[in-house]
Amino acid sequence: MGNISADTLKSAIRDVPDFPKPGIVFKDITPILKNPALFRGAIDLLAAHHKGQSIAKIAVIDARGFLFGSALALVMNAGLVPIRKKGKLPFKTFEESYALEYGTATLSVHVDAFEKNEPVLLVDDLLATGGTAAASAHLIERAGGRVVGIDFLIELAFLKGREKLGTYPLFAPIVF
Ligand code: AMP
């Protein structure tokens, strides 16, 4: 483990200006995904941070959180729970709406996704304003899970998303 540094991963991330709308600089992680050494390096960095920690489930956020979180779940021998955009999960769900810059978004999770009080790690690709992760953490708790950490590959620190995530232990190896 650990022969790819966070700096190496950081330099592989591609900035795409004005996507999906003017003024947003999109952090494109596809150059990491398409390179097996970098993809594995990213997963190893996250897994190393949780070495020895007891994690029953990894909850992953639609859609780019799925990519890193599912690989991490295999490596960590944890179960996988998708947190999906409203209307995608087939069984009974809890839903949580949160404010976006314009309008709102709604995320959902299956009501039986977690055992009561089991330790859950929440994973997404990137922390921006924190609204998505805060809503997801709340969903996990409503469904009976206990959020013991939130991992992002990337944190956009200037957006201060951490402030929305209270006292949850956060880990983000790449910071812009
Ligand atoms: P937020 O709720 O503001 O923290 O937004 C986080 C979600 O939006 C994550 O699922 C990210 O994938 C996505 N996101 C927000 N801003 C960016 C950005 N600049 N580049 C790539 N993804 C972003």
Atom of ligand 1 nearest to the CA of 63: 10
Q: What is the mean pLDDT of residues 111-132?
A: 98
84 is catalytic: no
Give the phi and the psi of residue 166 in degrees, each rounded to 5.
50, -125
In the predicted model, is pLDDT for residue 103 greater than 90?
no
Q: Which position has the token pair 């190393």?
A: 48
Domain boundaries, the chain: 53-175
State whether the beta carbon of 99 lies less than 6 angstroms from ligand 1.
Answer: no
Confidence label for 110 from pLDDT (cuts 50, 70 and 90): very high
Distance, in Å, from the CA atom of 18 to the CA atom of 107, rounded to the nearest integer, reads 25
Average the pLDDT over each of 81-95, 97-111, 113-127, 156-170 and give the range with the smallest value: 97-111
Distance, in Å, from the CA atom of 123 to the CA atom of 127, rounded to the nearest integer, reads 10
State whether the beta carbon of 24 lies less than 6 angstroms from ligand 1.
Answer: yes
Atom of ligand 1 nearest to the CA of 156: 19
Mean pLDDT of the chain: 97
64 is catalytic: yes
User: 17: CA distance to ligand 1 center in Å?
Assistant: 14
pLDDT at 1: 52
CATH number of 53-175: 3.40.50.2020
Q: What is the mean pLDDT of residues 59-86?
A: 98
Per DSSP, the residues of the chain read: ---S-HHHHHHHPEEEET-SSTT-EEEE-HHHHTSHHHHHHHHHHHHHHTTT---SEEEEETTHHHHHHHHHHHHHT-EEEEEEETT---S-EEEEEEE-SSSEEEEEEETTSS-TT-EEEEEEEEESSSHHHHHHHHHHHHTT-EEEEEEEEEE-GGG-GGGGGTT--EE-SEE-
Q: At what angle do helices 36-49 and 64-76 cross, to 10 degrees?
A: 60
Per DSSP, the residues of 32-83 read: HHTSHHHHHHHHHHHHHHTTT---SEEEEETTHHHHHHHHHHHHHT-EEEEE
Q: What is the mean pLDDT of residues 137-161?
A: 98
